[in-house]
Structure 1
Amino acid sequence: MNKHIIKTTLLLFFLSIGLSACFQSKPLTLVESLKQIPNVTVKKILGDTTYTSYYELYFTQPLDHENPEAGTFKQRVLLGHHAVEKPMVVEIQGYNIWTEKAGELSKLLNANQLTIEHRYFKNSIPDSLDWQYLNIKQAAADQHVVIQALKKIYKNKWITTGISKGGQTTMYHRYFYPNDVDVSVPYVGPLNFAREDKRIHKHLSTVGSKECRDKIYQFQMACFKNKKEILPLAKTHVKEKGYSFSMGLEKALDLSILEYSFAFWQWGGVKCEDIPSSNANPEELFKHLKRVSGMDFFDENSLKPSLAFYHQALTEIGMYSYKVEPFKQYINYKKDLTFDHVFPNDPIRKFNPESMQKVNKWLQSDADKMLFIYGEWDTWSATAVDLKNNTKCKKFVNPKGAHSTRIRHFPPEMKKEIIQTLEEWLEMSIRNE
């Protein structure tokens, strides 16, 4: 072949490669990648400024993932972005999104963060509240859709986490989709086996010291003994706050007094020595009652944002009741009081324990790399996960801890073991300050 022809051919070949490189499309920006996700709207917002950038996404989700013709709803999701190379922590909410801030795990891992609002709460409520589509299976499918969509962008380790009902929701998602993420860290998430789980009563009769439990009981008794004098105080308080109760003022006061022991141990913000003596005056009794077990917990307007929670509690994920028997000489109820008052105009909701039984069996046999965080004195620890012989998961209980227990609250040695477990499971080093 002619040398000039060979030179010309080679020149054209290398020129074509160069031109091809010039015209190759640039890598997609994060926003462009997000906008390529089907059925998603993307908006850049201020959010937590510790992230490089922050976005609000709305996913169009089917009401019924097994029957798309049933309709759709918009689900709110937040994305705090550091870098696509970093891990992703998914904050699975059990309710609405409470905050745009980075959670404890995201800070520990210096990770990106996805926050997923639960269906039927706040910005993720369908146009029609058809309760048949509010169950753990449908909610887990929502989270699966979001996680799988973002995994196409973020390819490092994935961790799900959630607090309280978010901790429950984290368990449920992992049960249905065990391979969606590498590790899960549910915080203070109960696993109830009944509509009104009796293990709560057992916990309240054994938690802490006998001296403190007796003082709590005597305080409740004092409130009931002085109810005639406390009722006018409650009436004034309720009027000032604009509360209203489907069960009436007197029963709402009874419920607040009965709730006191649960709330005292759940939150741990009040010490035993702060409890008024049994001969305290009505004003002092009511002031303390409001502090620990506020009547707003039973207010109709306060309950509205949480109707979805109560529906799930009474039908699938369980709740608790108030023990009447110890106070029956002062209150006239034939049986323990339940949360049916939340839906005063509806038929009594029927509880199906099957879902929780299946989740429990899976946790004790097949669950892998799930790290459970609990507080010893937290009332919800009465129904904490029992891993039995499943050594592929771990549970840590913070001594004397409350429902606000986080990894940072553990004693140094326990905290060290938690961090080491996460490092081993995630195959990465964690900066623990």
Structure 2
Amino acid sequence: MRHKLLPALLCAGIVTATGVLTGPAAVAAGSTPSAPGSVSAATDVREQLDRIPGLTVLSQTLKDGFPFYTLTLTQPVDHRNPARGTFQQRLTLWHRAATAPMVLYTGGYSLATSTREITTLLGANQVSVEHRYFSESRPATVDWRDLNVWQEASDEHAVVEALKTVYTAKWLGTGASKGGMTQVYHERFYPDDLDAVVAYVAPNDADNKDDSGYERFFRTVGTPACRAALNAVQREMLVRRDRILPRFEATVKERGLTFRHLGSADRAFEFSVLDQVWNFWQSGTHTDCPAVPDARTAGDEELYAWSLEHGLSIYSDDGAGADGSGPYYRQAAAQLGWADLKFKHLRDVRNHPDIYRPNSVLPADMRTRYEGRTIKDVDRWVTRRGERMMFVYGQNDPWSAERFEPSPHDSMLFEAPDTNHGALISRLRPADRAKAEATLKRWAGR
């Protein structure tokens, strides 16, 4: 169960690894961007944006010398029944040239606007979309049943339709982790919107009852010695619960955290310990293994302090509520699924065997039942019918253990060696990187 800075139960939240710095050197060969700071270019684009129904320009500035706009687009809360009301979805637009490709970026959470890897590679424009019902992109009164993958795909479809009136070159979608999943769902329901999709480290929990891929990952990742050391630390944290829990409670008090949703500090402590090893591999690498303490000899303070710095993320009411990661947990509980690991090495030291699931951290009014038909449909479609889809995964990333399998229709999958949840095309083996970059340029008409 993971997300963002939170753990595994959450899908690796806002992954910024695919964002890169841009500047004059980042302009792709053959691109013809507007002159940096060009008043005429900015004025022309602004006039076109102002003519798009439902689109509002909130601000305009420069980013790396090119016009950068903050926008909102009026969206229906229910695309099947627009009469139910609307909300304002936040966007940003980085304009380099009307003739350049457009990259549609979805972070999957709140608005994230860093320039993405393929944007730089292609010398492209970029529009970034805040996911519905995260942060400010929500109506005054939220019906959480409207937070589903089809409604968000329909939001993005509306964004594409609006901006294609200005940008008529190739469109490519990209995103990492939950953002990558979001792009895949968009492609499934609106396959004519985009010319290609590049999804980084996108989990695919097509069968929520089958977590064998994740179990296999934790039996094989890294070295046997590292796996054994991490499991021993995780187990010892629960064996010494009576001594380490007070330290956890002191940290919680210092940070002003509460656990009304989870129910108690003891439940929150166990939840956090269950996520330790997942988080270690999600954000760390095999080079961190020598620093894992010897659980047989480490003192309580050493064990707790090391854990707090290496994977012991704390789930609290603030982090998992409607204004935090709650919308993600709601999606995981409703459709996206979660990894319900067996934790065989911890069975005799767990107090709360049914706690490791999204509903555990949600407020009562956000909890729901799981519906798996939609994700299974997406999985089948990607494997059989998807076209021009590229998937990039990390060898040592737990989220990459359950993957999308691309179709034979000009689609492909790459694995970056010795990388975690921050896998990039630039971290692929040289031959794979050359193939991926050449494919992207071909898809983009570059």
| Length-normalised TM-score, structure 1 | 0.88
Among 186, 194, 199, the alignment partner of 1:186 is 199
**Shift of residue 306, structure 1, vs aligned partner:** 1.4
Taking the TM superposition and a 5 Å limit, the aligned residue runs for 1:269-288 are 269=285, 271-278=288-295, 279-288=297-306
Distance 1:208 1:340 in 2: 31
Moved more, 268-277 or 33-42: 268-277
Aligned to 2:53: 38
Aligned to 2:266: 250
**Shift of residue 364, structure 1, vs aligned partner:** 1.0
Aligned to 2:152: 139
More helix by share: 1
Q: C-alpha deviations, 1:111-165, integer Å up to 9, x for none?
A: 1110011100012022112011111111001001111111111111111101110
Distance 1:287 1:414 in 2: 40
Taking the TM superposition and a 5 Å limit, the aligned residue runs for 1:10-409 are 29-46=44-61, 49-98=63-112, 100-195=113-208, 197-198=210-211, 199-246=213-260, 247=262, 248-269=264-285, 271-278=288-295, 279-296=297-314, 298-304=315-321, 305-335=324-354, 337-346=356-365, 349-387=368-406, 390-409=408-427
CA contact (8 A) 1:259 1:322 kept: no
CA contact (8 A) 1:51 1:80 kept: no
State the AA in 2 paired with 1:222.
Answer: E
Aligned to 1:12: none
**Shift of residue 28, structure 1, vs aligned partner:** 7.8
Q: C-alpha deviations, 1:306-354, integer Å up to 9, x for none?
A: 1111111111111122435421222233446322212253586221111
Q: 1:334/1:301 Cα in 2 relative to 1: closer, same or farther (>3 Å)?
A: closer
Q: Secondary structure at the match of 2:57?
A: strand
Distance 1:250 1:38 in 2: 52
Larger CA Rg, structure 1 vs 2: 1
CA contact (8 A) 2:173 2:196 kept: yes
Q: 1:194/1:331 Cα in 2 relative to 1: closer, same or farther (>3 Å)?
A: same
Q: C-alpha deviations, 1:36-93, integer Å up to 9, x for none?
A: 110111133336x215111111101001111111110000010001110111111122
Distance 1:77 1:361 in 2: 31
Cα RMSD, aligned residues only: 1.9
**Shift of residue 357, structure 1, vs aligned partner:** 1.1
Structure 1: give runs of 5+ residues left out of the alignment.
1-26, 429-433
CA contact (8 A) 1:75 1:124 kept: yes
Q: 1:51/1:313 Cα in 2 relative to 1: closer, same or farther (>3 Å)?
A: farther
Distance 2:156 2:369 in 1: 26
Q: Secondary structure at the match of 2:136?
A: helix
State the AA in 1 paired with 2:204.
Answer: L
CA contact (8 A) 1:200 1:383 kept: yes
User: Which structure carries more relative contact order (alpha carbon 8 Å, separation 6+)?
Assistant: 2
CA contact (8 A) 1:96 1:118 kept: yes
Distance 2:66 2:353 in 1: 59
Distance 1:241 1:405 in 2: 32
**Shift of residue 383, structure 1, vs aligned partner:** 1.1
**Shift of residue 272, structure 1, vs aligned partner:** 1.0
CA contact (8 A) 2:235 2:346 kept: yes
CA contact (8 A) 2:330 2:358 kept: no
State the AA in 1 paired with 2:241.
Answer: K
Taking the TM superposition and a 5 Å limit, the aligned residue runs for 1:404-419 are 404-419=422-437
Q: C-alpha deviations, 1:367-409, integer Å up to 9, x for none?
A: 111111110110011111123x524210001112110111122
Q: Taking every aligned residue pair, what percent have the same amino acid on both sides?
A: 33
How many residue pairs get aligned? The number is: 398
Distance 2:71 2:387 in 1: 30
**Shift of residue 293, structure 1, vs aligned partner:** 2.1
Distance 2:170 2:439 in 1: 15
Aligned to 1:4: none
CA contact (8 A) 1:363 1:390 kept: no
Q: 1:66/1:51 Cα in 2 relative to 1: closer, same or farther (>3 Å)?
A: farther
